[in-house]
Amino acid sequence: MKAIAKTRPAPGVEIVDVPEPTVGPGEVKIKLEAASVCGTDLHIYSWDDWAAGRIKPPRIIGHEFCGTIVEVGPDVTERAVGDFVASESHIVPRSSAYLQAGLGHVAPETSILGVDVDGGFADFVVVPVDNARPTSRSIPPKIASFQDALGNAVHTVNDGPVEGCDLLITGMGPIGLFSVAVAKALGAKRIVVTEVSPYRIGLAEQIGADVILNPATDDVDAALSRLAPDGFDGTLEMSGHPSSLPLAIRHTKPGGRISLLGVFPQNQQTVDLNALIFKGIRMQGIVGRKLWETWDQMGELFKTGKLNLDPVVTHQMHFTEFADAMELMKAGRAGKVVFTFDN
């Protein structure tokens, strides 16, 4: 089969011809129908410090994908051949005390598909049965493929009240855009967003953000004070930009929540902690998806038919055109790039 792999510790990836993976106990084999490119794949492609310290080549990359199960391990009863499934990229052993306590998303013993073990940018992939999430056939593969990333948005939005709420979302990368769609589907009253990239501002318009502010051209502080003099019910930080955190603390109302998903370039940030304390704001770090609560919530969201994600899928191409996808993402001229496979 063909696969996209990091074959040596250096920038770039290669298309390789490798044997199809074999199924062991507790595993299922998936024939790929669609896959989606994530920022993590760009880190691996570029071979930055994080990737160099973490990836042990040769490694087939890709952790956001969907497809049909074509074979199950001898002891597998929870999935069957023919099931349509999507990837959860975090592999957490069933024996994990964190998982059993409902904290699988922060389990230290996590390994990641396409990072620590072979991933899904390939004709076939083998994953632990729990990581193949049952998905309705009514969801098109191009959308089903990125539920791992969509789940980050579902997790973040559901970190606090949504229905009838006035929300601020800083940063309109794919997960920020997904968060707008999820919050709308869950009945948010108004969604105000910030973004500097004209390309992403266009996507935010299409996904249905109510107010879009551009920190490069607008006085965002003044605009937010005018829009929500008492503050927002909640702020979802999706940019990792150092200015967003103080902005969130200033414009979240007393008793509100700040949900942090964006990763900051510097570990240390300076904020007005006393404002946070005296306003009684709850600030929560968000990572991954709750196993499996987030997936259940995501399934319910799809069932409502209110989730409009199409504007985020800006490109579709065959998975062997990986280099084109990387260049689009590097240039910031893509929402989600979705890969197709031969059938």
CB-nearer residue toward Zn ion: 46 or 100: 46
Instruction: Report the Cα–Cα distance between both ends of the chain, in Å, rounded.
Output: 13
Specify the stretch interacting with Zn ion by CB under 5 A; choose among 34-42, 194-202, 268-276, 300-308: 34-42
Neighbour tally for 71: CB within 10 Å = 17
The residues, ordered by sequence, that sit 6+ positions from 206 with a Cβ below 8 Å of its Cβ are: 311
**Identity at 15, one-letter amino acid code:** I
Decide if residue 66 touches Zn ion (CB under 5 A).
no
The residues, ordered by sequence, that sit 6+ positions from 47 with a Cβ below 8 Å of its Cβ are: 9, 10, 11, 12
**Whole-Å CA distances, 216 to 133, 213, 279:** 40, 9, 28
CB-nearer residue toward Zn ion: 23 or 326: 326
Task: Spot the catalytic one: 7, 43, 68, 241.
Answer: 43
Report which of 279, 234, 232, 231 is spatially closest to residue 259, judged by C-alpha positions: 234
Specify the stretch interacting with Zn ion by CB under 5 A; choose among 36-44, 76-84, 266-274, 275-283: 36-44
Q: Has 252 been annotated as catalytic?
A: no
Q: Token digits for 172?
A: 């309109």
Pick from 38, 44, 127, 150: which binds Zn ion (CB under 5 A)? Answer: 38
The residues, ordered by sequence, that sit 6+ positions from 341 with a Cβ below 8 Å of its Cβ are: 31, 32, 33, 34, 35, 67, 123, 318, 319
Q: Shortest gap between Cβ of 339 and Zn ion (angstroms)?
A: 13
Number of residues that bind Zn ion (CB under 5 A): 2
Q: Round to whole Å and give the CA distance between 253 and 276.
A: 10
- Fill in the per-residue mask, 147 to 176: x = in contact with Zn ion (CB under 5 A), - = not in contact: --x---------------------------
Q: Has 217 been annotated as catalytic?
A: no
Specify the stretch interacting with Zn ion by CB under 5 A; choose among 5-13, 43-51, 144-152, 213-221: 144-152
- Binding stretches for Zn ion (CB under 5 A): 38, 149
Active site residue ranges: 40, 43
